[in-house]
Structure 1
Amino acid sequence: MKTNVKALVIGGGAVGTSIAYHLAAAGWDDVMLLERDELTSGSTWHAAGLLPYFNMSFATTHIHDYSIRFYKTLEEETGLNAGFAVVGNLRMAQTDERMEEYQLYASTAETCGVPYVFLTPDEIKARWPLIETSDLKGALYHNTDGYINPADVTMAMAKGARQRGVMIERRWQADAFHWNGTHWEVTATKMVEKGGNLVPSDEQIFITAEHVVTASGNHAQRTAKMLGIKIPAIPVEHQFIVMDVDPALQEYRKTNPEHPVVRDADAQSYVREERGGWILGVYEKHAPARFEYGVPDSFRADLFELNLERIEEQYLAMIHRIPSCEDSGLKNDFNGPICYTPDGNPLVGPAPGLHNMWLAEGFSFGITAAGGTGYYLAQMMVKGEAEIDMASLDPKRYGPWMTTEWAARKNEEAYEHVYILHHPDEERPACRPLRTTPAFDRQKARGAQFGWVNGWERPNYFGPVDAPESFDHDARSFRRGGWWKHAVEEAKAIRTGVGLIDASAFTKHRISGPGATAFLDWFTTNKLPKVGRINLTYALTGAGTTRTEYTIARTGDDDYYLISAGAWTAYDQDYLYKAIMEHEGRFGRINEQEVTTQWGVFAIAGPKSRDVLQSIIKDADPATALSNKRFPWLSVRDIELGMCPVRAIRVAYTGELGWELHHPIEMQNYLFDLLEKAGEAHGMKLVGARAQNWLRQEKSYRAFGNELGRDATPMEADLPRFVDLNKDFHGKAEMQAKGIRSTCVTLLIDGPDNADPWGREVLYHGDTRVGRLTSGGYSVHFGKSIGMGYVHPDHAAVGTQLQVKMFDQLWPATIVEDSPYDPQNATIRKDG
């Protein structure tokens, strides 16, 4: 057994074998996989093997698409039949709202080239007469997916991996990891059977690996403890039952092909054929998390006791949907652990704080995702970056604030939400509130309806003060929800008066020390600001694409205050930390502090914002303290508002005259009360994140995670003004080599009179698909829908007429100049 390898993969389920296969396929010829038991002995063996395309995530849709195409090639390569039944997938809708969900998803799928058709109830009945369709509105049909045998596809990938030189070692358990400065030293213990259990023997080996990938499935919590990190991947019970033969189905199959996988989302269940009968799988409420603190040694390829009472409602719904199955008996049952994460998407990418340690954990749809995960993770490891933006799956989207209890309860919620309507404006309630700013209660008392950002409660909008608890849920929709009118008034307040936004969730870092200036000059694309000034800039990946957006405020010669997106605190901190550790010898001593929780932030914006601040600023000459001469646009000053010291930055994400007021978090309530009282005379309105999102699109301000990401360069985002090509910076050559593959544009849209795009829709030029939206909303200035997105450079000129698909229809959209509202920035620069 070899003890020195390029890459070591931990875990022999479908995901682990796919990663090993694709690392070898990408050119690494020294790859080993360790499995503590037998291949497929985790969740893989009892998975139902469905291959659904449906996913609201752009990255995950690409992953599923690759898997489905890849699995169809395995038999030719390996000679093993992976058991892929391409029967199609029929997603039925009992309500108009469910159809609207499918229409939004379908437009997203179209951006990835995923085929689909919509069917009417009559069309469903004509093709599949065993299905009861009288209460249906229609269905979404994917004819290219279906189901596969999980064990067979895993063994096929394992054989393909071996054929490419991968060493697969069974009954070896990874028991310790140590980074020696250049490589990982992994302690592996031989596992043996004893009394039906799998237990460690006295035999150990030590494997040295340049890279390690963990795909440990249900054992993710054990992996996390060994690595000293947190991984919110915890299994939840998942039940499905196998029914005996259905004579009506047998008769139907004499002259017809196999039924598609039938998904009755409104009944929280799926059904597929199985040897003349049916398999029923459910995503019911109250399914418990298991193994929160580790998998017992006695649990191998085992199952839990079935709880039929918990799925009685779904069972009766199946009998309604396929009446012929009512007399079919129960043939077999499964209740096994399926790993989940708080948002249902897997954790794929570099582990926080660790070099060359990669995670592939938390796969609730592991068979569907395995092929694509191996392919794109191998790209990240071998090439430095994947061809698609994998940030939405990054393990660091959850910070160190999370606990096991939080992850378990959120994973249970994610499980029961699999078939709950996925409104784009949904906010899930479990484990909330958890992270709150001091002003949370004050804002709640004023009607704030909160959103969840990296654990923080952040106002989305301000509704009626006396609204019942159900108001926010009732406000959600695939069209303009009940919150929309409130966001309109908030946006108008900033455009015409003054509004106050709680932006405390912003990520904040302090970078200082003798090497800080040289490091940041190399680490970011723009010129560094002078002392007392700020700049917008980008940190790139090694592939030249956008890794992070920063506002840099320079508070001293070698002292910088960095502000980035609130949803990405741990993600940004990890990238900074690793870059500093790797290059400190080159630049000199650098101090890095993540200070997000030390500073609260209020953003005040609008034509009257200066008037509000002038009434409370403590200065020898309050009338000029905030003037262009003393406090110009894009500058930072330490000021005093009443008794509160404030680091004020003259910038506004809304594109109006305004300031960000960074303040000691412990003084937030004092400052909130002071600002609120001062704002009364000027009609100041509290404003939430949804109105702010609309306003920033009117200014064509790109948002990280939307327009900015690891699949596009700043030049493709059309941001050359923030890239200084006269200096050397990380990723510069790679950025230039990519050229312009697509271009970010802003569009005004003549859409439905009761709906706006969400930023997930496909764009057409005539009959040609030319791009996709990455943001969407409503423009109070133009009185119509607005969006931002990427199109082929040939279709990026101002004035180009495109179409955006919404609700399965094409609507006119026109590309407009960048910053269509106030393109000269006159309002931002307004003097006083």
Structure 2
Amino acid sequence: MKTQVRALVVGGGAVGTSIAYHLAKAGWSDVMLLERDELTAGSTWHAAGLLPYFNMSYATTWIHDHSIKLYKTLEAETGLDAGFFVVGNLRMAQTKARMDEYMLYAATAETVGVPFEWMSPAQIRERWPLVRTDDLEGAIYHPTDGYINPADVTMAMAKGARQRGVSIERRWQVDGYEWTGSAWRVSCTKMVEKGGNLVAGDEQVVIEAEHVVTATGNHAQRTARLLGIRIPAIPVEHQYIVTEPDPALVAWRKDNPQHPVLRDADAKWYVREERGGWILGPYERGAPARFLYDVPESFRADLFPLDLDRIEEEYMSMIHRIPSSEEVGLKDDYNGPICYTPDGNPLLGPAPGLRNMWLAEGFSFGITAAGGAGHYLAQLMVEGEAEIDMASLDPRRYGDWMTTEYAARKNEEAYEHVYILHHPDEERPACRPLRTAPSYDRMKARGAQFGTVNGWERPNYFGPPDAPEAFDHDARSFRRGGWWQYAVDEATAIREGVGMIDASAFTKHLLRGPGAAAFLDWFTTNRLPRVGRINLTYALTGAGTTRTEYTIVRLAEDTFYLVSAGAWHAYDGDFLAKAVADRVAEFGPMWLEDCTTKYGVFAVAGPKSRDLLKGLVRDAEPETALSNKRFPWLSARRIELGMVPVNAIRVAYTGELGWELHHPMEMQNHLFDRIMEAGEAHGLRLVGARAQNWLRQEKSYRAFGNELGRDATPLEADLPRFVDMGKDFHGKAEMEATGVRSKCVTLLVDGPDDADPWGREALYDGERRVGRLTSGGYSVAFGKSIGMGYVDPAFATPGTRLKVRMMGALWDAEITEDSPYDPKNERIRVDG
């Protein structure tokens, strides 16, 4: 057994073996995989083996697509049949809303190139007569996927890994991790079987590995404790049943190929053929989280007792949909743990706070994702970046505020929501409210309908103050939901009057010290601002793509206040902290402080914003305190508003005259009350995130996680004004070498009267797909839909007319100039 390797993979399920296989395939021959039991002994062995393409995440769709394509090649490579049955996948809809969901999903699938077909109830009935269709609206059909044998595909990838030099060692348990500064020392114990249980034996070994990947599945909480971090991956019970042969199915199969996998999302189940019978897998309410702290030593390839009462509704609905199954008896049942995360997406990427430690945990659809997860994680590890933006799967999307209780309850909710309508404006209720700014109750009393950003409650829009609790849920839609008119009114208020937005969730860091200026000059693309000024800038990945967007406020020669996206707090903080630590020796002493929860932020914007704030500012000459002469655009000043000391920044994400008011969090309610009182005379309106999202698109302001990410450079985002090519900065050479593969543009869309794009839609020139939207919404300035996205550079010229796919149809769209609203920034710069 080796004791020194380049990469050590811990966990021998489908995900772990895929990672080992792909690391070797990428050229890392010195790879070892450890499994505490036998390969596939975790959730892999009892998985149903389904391979659903359906996913609302762009990155996850790529991962699933790679898996499905990979699995079809394994037998030719390894000689082992992976057990892949390409029978197709029919996802049915009982309602028009469900069909709307499928059309939105199809927009994402289309941008990845996933094949699908639309089917009417009559077409379903004609092709698969065992399915009852009289109460269906239709279906989406994927002809290229189906189901696979989880053990077979895992063994095929394991053999492929061994053929490339990977060492796979079974019955070894990891008991400790120690970082030496250059490698991990991993303490391992040989496991032996006693009385049917696995127990620690006497043999121990220490393995030194440059990189470690954990793919420990149900044991993720033990892994978290050993590493001293938090991993919100906790299993939830999932049960499925296998029936005896169905005579009607057996008869039908005499003249037909295997039946496709069926999914009745409104009934919350999947069904597939199994030896002449059916497998029913429900996603019911009330499935509990298990192993919140550890997996019992006695639990190996074991199952939980079946709870048939919990799935009675789903069982009866299967009989309704497949009437021939009513007289068929039950043959087998399974109730096993499947790991989940709070948002249902896996944790795939660097571990927070640690070097060369990679997580591959929380795979609720592990068989579907395993092949692609190994492929793209290997790219991250070997090449430094993957070809797709992996931020939405990054383990650092959850911060230190996340607890075991939170993860367990949210994971139960994620399981329950597998088949609940996934509105693009979906806001799930479990564990809320949790993180609230002081003014939360004040905003709620004024009709705030909240969403969550990194656990923070943030107003999405303001509805009726006396709305019932169900109002926000009832307002959702795949088209223009009940919230739409409120957002229109809020956006109009900022364009014509004045509005206030709660932006307290912003990520905020303070960097100071003799080395701070030189470090930031190397770390970011733009020139640094002078004292009292601000700039917008980008930190790049090693591949030259956009890693983080910062607004930098220079408070003193050696003191900088950095503001970045609120949704990416731990993601940005970990990246920044590691970069600072790595460069202290080169640039000099510097100290980093995370002050996110120390300061709240109100953004006051609109033509009347200066007039409103004049009434609050305490200054010897209040009439000129906010003038262009004393407080120019893109500058920052310490001012007093009532009794509150405020670090005011003259910038507005809405593209209007405005200020961000960064204030002590403990004084927020006082400031809120004073602004509301002063605003009465000016028609002040509280504004939510949805209206702000529309307004920033009218100004072509890119958003991190949408237009900005690790799959495009700032030059591809068409932001050369924020890149100082006259200096050296991290990732510059790689950015230049990449060139411009696609280009970010803004489009105005002549879409349907009842819908706007969501930012997932494909763009066409005739029959040719030439790009995709990354943002979408409605423009109050132009009275039509608006979107931003990426196109082939040949189509990026303003005036180019394209088509955008919305709700299954193609609609006219025209590329505009950058910042179609107020392109000269005259409204932002207006004096007074």
**TM-score category of the 2 structures, normalised to the smaller one:** over 0.9
Q: CA deviation at 1:5?
A: 0.3
Does residue 325 (structure 1) correspond to residue 342 (structure 2)? The answer is: no
1:353-372 pair list within 5 angstroms? 353-372=353-372
Is the partner of 2:204 in helix, strand or coil?
strand
Q: CA deviation at 1:221?
A: 0.3
Cα distance in 2 between the residues matched to 1:774 and 1:404: 33
Write out per-residue CA displacement over residues 86-105 of structure 1, whole angstroms, 9 at most, x where no aligned residue. 00000000000000000000
Does residue 662 (structure 1) correspond to residue 662 (structure 2)? The answer is: yes
Cα distance in 2 between the residues matched to 1:792 and 1:213: 36
Letter in 1 for 2:686: L
Q: CA deviation at 1:107?
A: 1.1
Q: CA deviation at 1:202?
A: 1.6
Matching residue of 1:806 = 806
Is the partner of 2:569 in helix, strand or coil?
helix
Does residue 281 (structure 1) correspond to residue 281 (structure 2)? The answer is: yes
Matching residue of 2:204 = 204
Cα distance in 2 between the residues matched to 1:589 and 1:194: 56
Letter in 1 for 2:601: V
1:638-677 pair list within 5 angstroms? 638-677=638-677
Matching residue of 2:185 = 185
Cα distance in 1 between the residues matched to 2:367 and 2:169: 21
Cα distance in 2 between the residues matched to 1:205 and 1:747: 60
Matching residue of 1:384 = 384
Q: CA deviation at 1:29?
A: 1.1
Matching residue of 1:471 = 471
Matching residue of 2:64 = 64
Matching residue of 2:294 = 294
TM-score (norm 1): 1.00
Matching residue of 2:613 = 613
Letter in 2 for 1:79: G
Does residue 149 (structure 1) correspond to residue 149 (structure 2)? The answer is: yes
Matching residue of 2:423 = 423
Q: CA deviation at 1:285?
A: 0.3
Matching residue of 1:573 = 573
1:732-771 pair list within 5 angstroms? 732-771=732-771
Q: CA deviation at 1:15?
A: 0.1
Cα distance in 2 between the residues matched to 1:407 and 1:376: 25
RMSD between superposed Cα atoms in Å: 0.4
Letter in 2 for 1:816: T
Cα distance in 2 between the residues matched to 1:29 and 1:392: 29
Is the partner of 1:278 in helix, strand or coil?
strand
Stretches (4+) displaced over 4 A? none
Does residue 26 (structure 1) correspond to residue 26 (structure 2)? The answer is: yes
Is the partner of 1:721 in helix, strand or coil?
helix
Letter in 2 for 1:728: D
Cα distance in 1 between the residues matched to 2:764 and 2:584: 48
Does residue 538 (structure 1) correspond to residue 532 (structure 2)? The answer is: no
Q: Which runs of 5+ in 1 are unaligned?
A: none
Is the partner of 1:624 in helix, strand or coil?
coil
Letter in 2 for 1:676: M
| Percent of matched pairs sharing the same residue | 77
Is the partner of 2:16 in helix, strand or coil?
helix
1:76-225 pair list within 5 angstroms? 76-225=76-225
Write out per-residue CA displacement over residues 129-184 of structure 1, whole angstroms, 9 at most, x where no aligned residue. 00000000000000000000000000000000000000000000111000000000
Q: CA deviation at 1:194?
A: 1.1
Does residue 827 (structure 1) correspond to residue 814 (structure 2)? The answer is: no
Q: CA deviation at 1:801?
A: 0.6
Q: CA deviation at 1:503?
A: 0.3
Q: CA deviation at 1:765?
A: 0.7
Is the partner of 2:794 in helix, strand or coil?
helix
Letter in 1 for 2:768: T
Cα distance in 2 between the residues matched to 1:807 and 1:694: 20
Is the partner of 1:45 in helix, strand or coil?
coil
Cα distance in 1 between the residues matched to 2:708 and 2:644: 35
Write out per-residue CA displacement over residues 74-97 of structure 1, whole angstroms, 9 at most, x where no aligned residue. 000000000000000000000000
Is the partner of 1:385 in helix, strand or coil?
coil
1:703-722 pair list within 5 angstroms? 703-722=703-722
Letter in 2 for 1:313: E
Matching residue of 1:453 = 453
Q: CA deviation at 1:628?
A: 0.4
Write out per-residue CA displacement over residues 275-314 of structure 1, whole angstroms, 9 at most, x where no aligned residue. 0000000100000000000101010000000000000000
Cα distance in 1 between the residues matched to 2:616 and 2:592: 34
Write out per-residue CA displacement over residues 730-770 of structure 1, whole angstroms, 9 at most, x where no aligned residue. 00000000000000000000000011000011111100001
Is the partner of 2:707 in helix, strand or coil?
coil
Matching residue of 1:304 = 304
Is the partner of 1:596 in helix, strand or coil?
coil
Cα distance in 2 between the residues matched to 1:822 and 1:99: 38
Cα distance in 1 between the residues matched to 2:222 and 2:514: 40
TM-score (norm 2): 1.00
Q: CA deviation at 1:196?
A: 1.0
Matching residue of 1:52 = 52
Cα distance in 2 between the residues matched to 1:182 and 1:269: 48
Write out per-residue CA displacement over residues 318-343 of structure 1, whole angstroms, 9 at most, x where no aligned residue. 00000001111100000000000000
Q: CA deviation at 1:626?
A: 0.3
Is the partner of 1:46 in helix, strand or coil?
coil
Q: Which runs of 5+ in 2 are unaligned?
A: none
Is the partner of 2:828 in helix, strand or coil?
coil
Does residue 16 (structure 1) correspond to residue 49 (structure 2)? The answer is: no
Letter in 1 for 2:473: H
Matching residue of 1:680 = 680
Write out per-residue CA displacement over residues 498-540 of structure 1, whole angstroms, 9 at most, x where no aligned residue. 0000000000000001110000000000000000000000000
Letter in 2 for 1:380: L
Write out per-residue CA displacement over residues 791-811 of structure 1, whole angstroms, 9 at most, x where no aligned residue. 011111111111110111000
Letter in 1 for 2:246: D
Matching residue of 2:406 = 406
Cα distance in 2 between the residues matched to 1:796 and 1:152: 47
